[in-house]
Amino acid sequence: MAAVEAAAGPRVEMTIRGLVLGVLLTFLFTAANVFLGLKVALTFATSIPAAVISMALLKAFRNSTIIENNIVQTVASAAGAMASVVFVLPGLIIIGAWTGFPFWMTFGICAAGGVLGVMYTIPLRRALVTESDLPYPEGVAAAKVLEVGSGARGDSAEAQADSRLGLFAIITGALAGAGYALVTATQVFAAEVNGYIRAPNGGVTGLGASGSLALFGAGHLMGVAVGAAMAVGLVITWGVAVPVLSAMHPAAGPLADWATDIWKHQVRFIGAGAIGVAALWTLAKLAVPLWRGVGSALAAEARRKAGEGAQLPRTEQDIPIGTMALISIACLVPIAVLIAIFLSSGALSGLVVPLTVAAILYIAVAGFAVAAVCGYMAGLIGSSNSPVSGMAILSVLGAALIVAAIGLPVVKNGDVKPLIAFALLVTAVLISVAISANDNLQDLKTGQLVDATPWRQQVALVIGVIAGSIVIPIVLNALNKAYGFAGGPPGITGQPLAAPQATLITSIASGVISHDLPWGLIGVGGLVGAALVVVDELLRRGGRYSLPPLGAALAIYLPSSVTTPVILGAFAGWAFNRRADKRPNAEAVKRLGVLLVSGYIVGDGLLNVGAAFLIIGSGKGAPLALVPETFGLATPLALAAYLLTAFALYLWISRRGERA
């Protein structure tokens, strides 16, 4: 990394201008992400778009550096993270517990939970970043963008690729990613290619694939082991679970609707159970490296107290673990106050003390667990694809069980809505912890690759979390007034936002408390997760192969439209690297391949930012549409263009790399 620092010039890292720019980008991107999350249940990662904008603007300052741009993207990355709280909070409107989003309550949930998530990642950094071989696809892509965009040069293998060619590779990939996404937005290309057929047993099965080159690029970056695991999960889902369950529950109408309904309302619970078991196993395996990480952090703290802090390597300087502990406790205090306020004016006012104590203990312990698991999943498949809503399902299960155990004996046959509302509130705090950790570890991976100082990034993300938390209640209240949410009071337009994830989480909380949740399906998922763990351990004993159980479990929970292009990208990247290994400039070719697919993520991300603001401004779901959704050639055109683009660009970058 010495070459990177030399190319960057003097160490200008955390600056007022960088923090201000990061906060402004956080405001903009959070607003866009809140709207998209409520409309289509997706948010976009903001790290790379923020890095690109930062490099373009800060070039006006002669002393701007790669690590200053890294701080900007770290602050702004909180926009993609904190907006995910909309997967829970609108449930409080839907069930009638709130009529709007109280500013200080909503801000406090997001800010205190988010900062707690940042603190929890401090001892996790060594276990999941420094001492881990997790691929962190988006973290690596962001680092490559920063290095090439800042004119930085690596050493050894990286130095073989000329920086201009590297920049050209990223720009080409970005244009391809943005161009494909733009044509998809016009509806000339289908946003998703899918097909469904009757299974031999009388049920239904099928497959879908999103037309996103960013997902293809993420697959290339995460590698073939994760891709193979996700392929196994895809087979379990669409080769076994959907055909079997659909045969047991026949339905009239289009096959696509039948298959989607079975996956959404049944198979997804199997996926949640599998994620739960795989997550617990992952936590168990993290115990030793986590213990070493905590020990290392304590040793660093001891050296600081002994006056040897200056001798610590700069890249190992986290926020001191003592400070981390104090801030974590400080975060729990306002959370407790908010919970007590929430309970004091309702039907559960007589249970303020036991419910508050139980909730704080649950948040403190389960929060660390979900931070670790979400951080691991972000390292495995990227923070954009990490199914935070899966953690929300597991979190709301725990919260609902706790509140049911304490509150149901008091409520008895009365209205259970206050219990559901309380479970949602606790889940919202836990999700704030999870999404913050999910994002921060990805950023810390980027920082590790560009030689950044960990504690500065941790401070930057705290600033980003607070900035995003300011915007969220303002935007939510505006959207609630204008549109409303499906199942809740109507808005001015009479066209409510679907808020699909919030509806799902609310129904799960209601199911636990009302005793009608499909525990059998969750239990089946747990058995599937256990089987995946056993298979992975047996493969690892052979020393050559692995099958990451969380990767397979995620493919059961996530829609095939997301997993299919990721799997395709993983195997295509493996084939590309195998071919490159037979060439003289193998490392240069593979490096350019990484830069090319990183460009896909850049272009797709930037296009999504623009599209989000167009959707907000126009109030239309497809403001760029040139043809109707029923355009007959959209699917074949999309399929042909997608495959040809990926193949042609691989071939082009391979030939350029061989001549480098």
Amino acid at 644: L
Sign of CA dihedral 252, 255, 261, 267: positive
pLDDT of residue 43: 63
- Which of the given ranges, 311-325, 408-422, 494-508, 557-571, has the highest pLDDT on average? 557-571
Which residues are 206's β-sheet partners?
A: 196
Are residues 521 and 266 in contact, defined by beta-carbon separation less than 8 angstroms? yes
- DSSP codes of every residue in 599-635: HHHHHHHHHHHHHHHHHHHH--S-TT--S-TT-TTHH
- Which pLDDT does position 333 carry in this prediction? 92
Q: If 0-12 CB within 10 Å is exposed, 13-18 middle and 19+ buried, where does residue 349 land?
A: exposed
Is the CB of residue 461 less than 8 Å from the CB of residue 118? yes
CA 311 to chain centre: 36
324, burial (CB in 10 Å: exposed 0-12, middle 13-18, buried 19+): buried
Distance CA 87, CA 82 (A): 10
Q: Flag whether pLDDT at 375 surpasses 80.
A: no
Q: Which of 130-144, 191-205, 292-306, 580-594 has the lowest mean pLDDT?
A: 292-306
Mean pLDDT of 123-128: 76
Q: Does position 7 have pLDDT exceeding 70, yes or no? A: no
Tell which residue, 381, 425, 383, 382, has the closest CA to residue 403.
425
Which helix or strand (DSSP H or E) is residue 204 part of?
strand 204-210
Reported confidence tier of residue 311, pLDDT bands at 50, 70, 90? low
pLDDT of residue 99: 82
pLDDT at 531: 92
Phi first, then psi: what are they for 98, rounded to 5°?
A: -120, 155
Return the closest-CA partner of residue 458 out of 321, 598, 302, 334: 321
Average pLDDT, the chain: 79
Residue 8 banded pLDDT, cuts 50, 70, 90: very low
The predicted-structure confidence for 473-501, as pLDDT tens digits, reads as follows: 888 887 777 677 777 777 665 667 667 67
Characterize the bridge pairing of strands 192-198 and 204-210. antiparallel
pLDDT-based confidence at residue 304 (cuts at 50, 70, 90): low
Is pLDDT above 50 for 328?
Answer: yes
Mean pLDDT over 567-581 rounds to 90
Backbone φ, ψ for residue 478 (5° rounding): -65, -45
Most confident of 113-122, 213-222, 578-587, 639-648: 639-648
pLDDT-wise least confident of 11-25, 59-73, 602-616: 602-616
Residues 6+ apart with CB under 8 A from 148: 163, 166, 167, 169, 170, 595
